[in-house]
Amino acid sequence: MSGLNLAQLQAVHYTEGPCLVLAGAGSGKTRVITHKIARLIETGLQPRRIAAITFTNKAAAEMRERAAGLIGRQAKEVLVCTFHALGVRMVREDGHVLGLKPSFSILDQDDVTGILKDCAGGTTDLATARQWQWTISNWKNQGWDARKALAMAQDDHERSIALIMQRYEERLSAYQSVDFDDLIGMPMRLLRHHPEVREKWQRLLGHVLVDEYQDTNATQYELLKFLVGERARFTAVGDDDQSIYGWRGATLDNLKKLPVDFPQLKVIKLEQNYRSTSAILRAANNVIGPNPKLFPKTLFSELGEGEPVRIVDCDNEEHEAERAVARIQGLRAAANPPPAWKNFAILYRANHQAKPFEKALRRANIPYKVSGGTSFFDRAGIRDLCAWFRLWINNDDDPAFLRAITSPRRGVGHTTLGALGEFATQHKQSMFGALFNAMLPAVVPKRGLEGLLEFGRQINDLEYRARRTHGAEDARAFLADWLKEIGYEQHIYDGEDSEKVAAARWSNVLEFCDWMAQRAGGQIDDTAATTTVAPTKSLLEVAQTIALLSTISEREQEQDMVVLSTLHASKGLEWPHVILAGVTEGMLPFKLDDDEGRQQKVTDDVAARLQEERRLMYVGITRAQRSLAVSWTKKRKKGREMVACQPSRFIAEMKLDAATSREDPREKLRQLRAEFAAKAQAAPHTAS
């Protein structure tokens, strides 16, 4: 426990009851959680009875690694996972009481959108289906089912979505499938309505730790309450000042409820920041100051005053990007040795703001990566193809079966798939295995049966050919023939409203096929510790390595590149040097247009929305360790027009010293270059 401050020690050693740790930005919350796991084991609690719940796989992996460094092999027994991963485990073990088999399918966003379009007769455009998906997800996060949504509907529009939700629930049941929201809602229903399941999980879990507690939604809070029961042995770690996910259901009400639902709650504040200089923290404290406080706290640092926070005013977005590049070059030129590129981050409110910075960085030959966007391997077309590959490798993979048989469709509708799903469950077979059951024709209509059997024959034939396809050229030819055979290009164009979007998706598919072919030819081996040349492989062997893609992505994250990221995606990360860009009124805080129905669901309360935007600015500021620049533009593009902008009110709220905060990065870079030139000229005279 050496190295922990008094507040951290207090949080680690309190194990008797419910505990709320208010962990300010950079205050060492992961350190507290891992040390508390060690303390719980030291007091006699078995490692397998400890659960540490996070919000991302990356956070879970980091926590496992740090726990292993502290307690060794015992860390493997501790349940460290996301809320959704815990939900999967609970539903796999006990979902049978809800009528779900253990090998249920987990549908991704594209699967859900497709089913919702089907629920409306297939004539709905993608944008409308995605809006329905957003609304249904919000209802599920509040713990509502279709019946409750229908009862609570306030107008005809909401009633129509509730009816779509009713059909959607019927489809999920028939397909033996769940969506991501169900992975929280179903465990909650299991614990609420089935006492034997509730008692089992309460016995199993002796202490529950929840990271990023401020990001929990109403359903997750109910799930936590049922998991800990009356004994209430839990530790919630969070920061009300960093609650920035109201738009996806996170609610600060969960922080307000804790002292009410658990009167014996012990509240401990972590206010010492180990990340940022005093100048940066002062700006952060000033910005967050106007927000109402659930639990007042003020961050402080012992890392010294540091460089003043800089304000950079720019003519337009291109000018802003040029100044950002000049600042990065200037900071590197002023240091010996120059800091690595990965020490710099440019943060912004919305994804579209990245483009000018990408252009400016490419022009300056500065390596960069865009964080927070969709991973190449998560794109819909790639996931479709991976479903086929997974089914070649493992015929019992029901989620892959459902995706492959509908990508593209082949005359097999939801009624047929529903009947197949029920038949497979009754006969304890996978859906693919059930295709060849002699009794299937009795329960599936003739037209649907023909489509199913043709698909089954096609999968077997493709698996046979893929096993015998070796080398890059053969693999390319096989993949091209296969895509043509199943009509995948036409499927993509039929499924998109925009031809430009469809062309981009098809381009991704071709790029992925080339990636597969390279590996079949031995040009790249992702199973090695480093990228190496390897012997040729069959296409089926290559398909089996697709599970390693997450490892490849993690390796890419370690590359030496400037990071471009949205503020939401930057949460939990930190960099020595941060540029917070596009900080204008209407962008940060974000001004909602009247027709932004998806965004409007956050709340109709302008004050509450402004408070969340202020927290987003606070998160951006507290990502910086040593230097922070905040830039804004006098004009920005809106459609084809240039509109005038004003600096964000948050800049004034930072209360910076006007004499030290203004900066022209290009002028600073010119001065540095002049200094270097003068030193270079003086050097020969000094030597003589």
* pLDDT reported for residue 558: 63
Q: Which residue, of 131, 147, 175, is where some domain finishes?
A: 175
- Per the listing, tokens 């939604």 go with 217
The residues facing 217 across adjacent strands are 250
Per annotation, catalytic residue among 8, 34, 176, 242: 242
Average pLDDT in the 422-437 region? Answer: 88
* pLDDT reported for residue 372: 63
Distance CA 386, CA 404 (A): 9
Which of 43-57, 410-424, 446-460, 609-623 has the highest mean predicted lDDT (pLDDT)?
A: 609-623
CB 642 within 8 A of CB 592: no
Report helix, strand or coil for 576.
Answer: strand
User: How high is the mean pLDDT of the chain?
Assistant: 85
Is position 643 within any domain?
yes
For the record, the structure tokens of 112 come out as: 């859900």
Average pLDDT in the 332-336 region? Answer: 90
Per-residue confidence band for 685, with pLDDT thresholds at 50, 70 and 90:
low
CB 456 within 8 A of CB 432: yes
Distance CA 605, CA 577 (A): 35
Count of CB atoms situated within 10 Å of the CB of 436: 13
Per annotation, catalytic residue among 30, 220, 469, 622: 30
For the record, the structure tokens of 20 come out as: 């709320």
Distance CA 185, CA 58 (A): 23
Q: Which residue, of 123, 145, 175, is where some domain finishes?
A: 175
* pLDDT reported for residue 554: 40
* pLDDT reported for residue 496: 82
Determine the length of the chain.
688
Is position 677 within any domain?
no
Note if 211 is an active site residue.
yes
Is position 605 within any domain?
yes
428: left (phi over 0), alpha (psi -120 to 50) or beta: left
Bond before 399 cis per omega within 30 degrees: no
CB 594 within 8 A of CB 377: no
CATH number at residue 664: 3.40.50.300
Instruction: Pick the closest to residue 618 from 244, 215, 345 (CA basis).
Output: 244
Per-residue confidence band for 327, with pLDDT thresholds at 50, 70 and 90:
very high
Q: Are strands 641-644 and 635-638 parallel, antiparallel or unpaired?
A: antiparallel
Report which of residues 275 and 70 the model is more confident about: 275
CB 447 within 8 A of CB 379: no
Name which of 83-92, 412-421, 678-687 the model is least confident about: 678-687
- Per the listing, tokens 């270097």 go with 676
Per-residue confidence band for 529, with pLDDT thresholds at 50, 70 and 90:
very low
Kindly state whether residues 411 and 496 are assigned to the same domain.
yes
pLDDT digits 0-9 by tens, 151-196: 999 899 999 999 999 999 988 887 778 888 999 999 999 999 999 9
Kindly state whether residues 78 and 218 are assigned to the same domain.
yes
CATH number at residue 145: 1.10.10.160
Per-residue confidence band for 567, with pLDDT thresholds at 50, 70 and 90:
very high
Report helix, strand or coil for 469.
Answer: coil
Average pLDDT in the 272-279 region? Answer: 95
Kindly state whether residues 476 and 423 are assigned to the same domain.
yes
Per annotation, catalytic residue among 39, 66, 403, 623: 623
Is position 293 within any domain?
no
Kindly state whether residues 342 and 381 are assigned to the same domain.
no
Residues of the chain with pLDDT > 70, as a percent, come to 89
| Number of helical (H) and strand (E) elements in the chain, helices listed first | 31, 18
Note if 29 is an active site residue.
yes
Distance CA 422, CA 226 (A): 31
Name which of 131-140, 555-564, 566-575, 648-657 the model is least confident about: 555-564
Name which of 72-86, 331-345, 611-625 the model is least confident about: 72-86
Is position 42 within any domain?
yes
pLDDT above 90 for 565: yes
Residues of the chain with pLDDT > 90, as a percent, come to 47
Kindly state whether residues 543 and 630 are assigned to the same domain.
no
* pLDDT reported for residue 277: 96
Kindly state whether residues 84 and 120 are assigned to the same domain.
no
Report which of residues 441 and 667 the model is more confident about: 441
Kindly state whether residues 567 and 513 are assigned to the same domain.
no
Is position 73 within any domain?
yes
* pLDDT reported for residue 261: 94
Kindly state whether residues 518 and 424 are assigned to the same domain.
yes
Question: Helices 182-193 and 83-94, interaxial angle, to 10°?
Answer: 50
Beta strands in 464-610 (DSSP E): 562-566, 575-580
* pLDDT reported for residue 595: 41
Instruction: Pick the closest to residue 190 from 79, 83, 91, 102 (CA basis).
Output: 91
Q: Which residue, of 528, 555, 582, is where some domain finishes?
A: 555
Note if 623 is an active site residue.
yes
Our count of domains for the chain comes to: 4
Kindly state whether residues 451 and 407 are assigned to the same domain.
yes
Kindly state whether residues 393 and 503 are assigned to the same domain.
yes
Kindly state whether residues 407 and 485 are assigned to the same domain.
yes
CATH number at residue 478: 1.10.486.10
Is position 213 within any domain?
yes
**Which 3-state string (H, E, C) describes 228-281?**
HCCCCCEEEEECHHHCCCHHHCECCHHHHHHHHHCCCCEEEEECEECCCCHHHH
Report which of residues 263 and 663 the model is more confident about: 263
pLDDT above 90 for 576: yes
Note if 156 is an active site residue.
no
Per-residue confidence band for 626, with pLDDT thresholds at 50, 70 and 90:
very high
Per annotation, catalytic residue among 29, 36, 171, 297: 29
User: What is the pTM (predicted TM-score) of this model?
Assistant: 0.76
Where does residue 650 rank: exposed (0-12), middle (13-18), buried (19+ CB within 10 A)?
buried
* pLDDT reported for residue 378: 66
Note if 30 is an active site residue.
yes
Which of 189-203, 237-251, 369-383 has the highest mean predicted lDDT (pLDDT)?
A: 189-203
Report helix, strand or coil for 52.
Answer: strand
Report which of residues 601 and 89 the model is more confident about: 89
Bond before 338 cis per omega within 30 degrees: no
Report helix, strand or coil for 307.
Answer: coil
Beta strands in 262-408 (DSSP E): 266-270, 272-273, 300-301, 310-314, 344-348, 368-371
- Report the chain's terminal Cα–Cα distance, integer Å: 59
What is the DSSP secondary structure assignment for residue 339, as one 8-state letter?
P
Kindly state whether residues 206 and 158 are assigned to the same domain.
no
Residue numbers of the domain that contains 308: 300-367+560-672
pLDDT digits 0-9 by tens, 448-485: 888 899 999 999 998 888 888 887 888 889 899 989 98
Per annotation, catalytic residue among 110, 212, 222, 397: 212
Instruction: Pick the closest to residue 270 from 442, 509, 27 (CA basis).
Output: 27
CB proximity list for 243: less than 8 A, separation 6 or greater: 214, 215, 250, 252, 612, 615
* pLDDT reported for residue 533: 43
Give the Cα-Cα-Cα angle 259, 260, 262 (nearest 5 degrees). Answer: 65
Per annotation, catalytic residue among 179, 211, 215, 317: 211
Is position 361 within any domain?
yes
